[in-house]
Amino acid sequence: MRVLGIETSCDETGVALFDTERGLVADALYSQIAMHADYGGVVPELASRDHTRKLLPLIEDVLNDAGMTRAELDGIAYTAGPGLVGALMVGASTAHGLARALNIPVLGVHHMEGHLLAPMLEDEPPAFPFVALLVSGGHTQLVEVRGLGDYELLGESVDDAAGEAFDKAAKMLGLEYPGGPNVARLAEQGDPTRFRFPRPMTDRPGLDFSFSGLKTHMLTAVRSLREAGQLDDQARADVARAFEEAVVDTLVIKCRRALDATGLKRLVVAGGVSANTRLRERLAVETGKRGAKAFYPRGRFCTDNGAMIAYVGAQRLVAGERDDSAMRAVPRWPLDQLAPAGSASA
């Protein structure tokens, strides 16, 4: 089955073609980062307009790269949520319009299920069951994954997501959007012994996260240095290093607890923050101690992309699922509300 995947949940327009026999055939991505950087974050209306401009040309690019025409498609998948409602509507309306014109099935896909299963696109995909850490600008969650659509939420952030905390830390340090990669680069020059920030919610049982207190600690440290006239380049790097170490330690501790609690030996880490080098290094050590293994999507599939949507859509379309005539755009959509593949077929 040849499925076109469309991703327009936030600030990246992604399109891909997945063939259930050949795997990923072609993909393309357009990032709006440069446009939103002037505002220090995503502007929803601008994001929607840019998706409208870029989506159809990207679809044609992907089809051309695959050497296919629209008539050869067997199905279309699109991100139905969670995300910015206007941006979601661009993808949903395009997908439904194309599917109706071609008389093929169409299906709305959960954005975070796409991230969760992105490592399935790699040469050595993880087998079910596994623990997944979904860590991005909008989500920080630990999930037990027993099969496609069979998910149990183990823990999540009660306030800021880890990626959101990175973005706010970057603003405090005068770094450009997006913050995560810039904080990580600055942290490479930092002294890990100069400052120590708290590891929130690690001094109590449980698998939930909280990063708002860490953000406040960061703000206090930056203000104190500035007021003392000591916020030079080295101090900024030292603070960035302390912040990154605190976030990474917190994520690693919670992953360790999740693996111990479930007894599982496979850990999937996905979402934008999964590209963080220090996080990967630390998780390699922790999983190694337990005879476990960590799995990641390739670099360009850590952030939002069409390939993950095409993959998940293909699996669920094969299982008999499809949308009815109504388009779906669900800004808030808990992952554990999903049904196992095929059980919600129309």
Does the annotation list 36 as a binding residue? no
Does the annotation list 97 as a binding residue? no
Q: Among 322, 311, 339, 327, which Cα is nearest to 1's? A: 311
Does the annotation list 65 as a binding residue? no
CB 153 within 8 A of CB 162: no
Does the annotation list 111 as a binding residue? yes
Which residue type does 6 have? Answer: I
Does the annotation list 135 as a binding residue? yes
Does the annotation list 342 as a binding residue? no
Does the annotation list 93 as a binding residue? no
Does the annotation list 51 as a binding residue? no
Does the annotation list 90 as a binding residue? no
CB 149 within 8 A of CB 336: no
Q: How many residues does the chain have?
A: 346
Residues in binding site for Fe cation: 111, 115, 304
Residues in binding site: 111, 115, 134-138, 167, 180, 276, 304
Residues in binding site for substrate: 134-138, 167, 180, 276
